[in-house]
A and B are shown apart, each in its own frame.
Chain A
Amino acid sequence: NAGVTQTPKFQVLKTGQSMTLQCAQDMNHNSMYWYRQDPGMGLRLIYYSASEGTTDKGEVPNGYNVSRLNKREFSLRLESAAPSQTSVYFCASSEWIGSPYEQYFGPGTRLTVT
């Protein structure tokens, strides 16, 4: 039972390059989330997927796209990376049965855009 896994752990991109961050969970959760964490900014929601087949924008969706590939997997794509996207990215999953359950987080991807 690995929980939430993310790949890669580290990535360096040049401005304009593209990449996809992968996330998978093995807890059979319906909801999945992508956050970015920057110093002094806390956690900011990029996109989330309340259930398989749905995705919605969070606070800071510009420059990102997501795909809920199946119930387990939720990927985040940067089409044309910018230095402002340098950050630590976290994927999370949770369940919702009448009220919110806690979110489980992956170990994060540290992305640097030069």
Chain B
Amino acid sequence: AQSVAQPEDQVNVAEGNPLTVKCTYSVSGNPYLFWYVQYPNRGLQFLLKYITGDNLVKGSYGFEAEFNKSQTSFHLKKPSALVSDSALYFCAVNAGNNRKLIWGLGTSLAVNP
């Protein structure tokens, strides 16, 4: 069965430090991977996606993610965290032609001043 795991419910990081939000997946077939962000009382916003090609994907707001096929991971990273990055982050995966995404449970990122 296809699944996505975000192993950390919460990540705390100091402003200016690098941040990583982890995501691992289990699918049969080639995965299409996505990261979304949700600010309080808002809908989800797309950050970046991996479809094929370069394993390092750059997205909105200075975020990037690295696709690692051998470790079945797609971790979200940012070199220097901002307080305004504090939000809920979701990883999602699609494998196959079924038009649906499988979602992780989300990771709450808190960036402390």
The answer to whether B43 touches A100, judged by C-beta atoms less than 8 angstroms apart, is: no
A74 at interface by CB-CB < 8 Å: no
The answer to whether B103 touches A105, judged by C-beta atoms less than 8 angstroms apart, is: no
B105 at interface by CB-CB < 8 Å: yes
**Interface size (A, Cβ < 8 Å)?**
25
The answer to whether B100 touches A90, judged by C-beta atoms less than 8 angstroms apart, is: no
Tell me the A37-73 residues at the B interface (CB within 8 Å). Answer: 40-45, 48, 50, 58
The SS class assigned to the A binding surface is: strand
- Known contacts A104-B46, A105-B43; A40 and B105 CB within 8 A of each other: yes
Specify which chain A residues have a CB less than 8 angstroms from the CB of B44 in the assembled complex.
43, 90, 92, 103, 105
**Interface size (B, Cβ < 8 Å)?**
20
The answer to whether B43 touches A42, judged by C-beta atoms less than 8 angstroms apart, is: no
Tell me the B23-71 residues at the A interface (CB within 8 Å). Answer: 32, 34, 41-46, 49, 51-52
Specify which chain A residues have a CB less than 8 angstroms from the CB of B46 in the assembled complex.
102-104
- Known contacts A42-B104, A42-B105, A43-B90; A100 and B45 CB within 8 A of each other: no
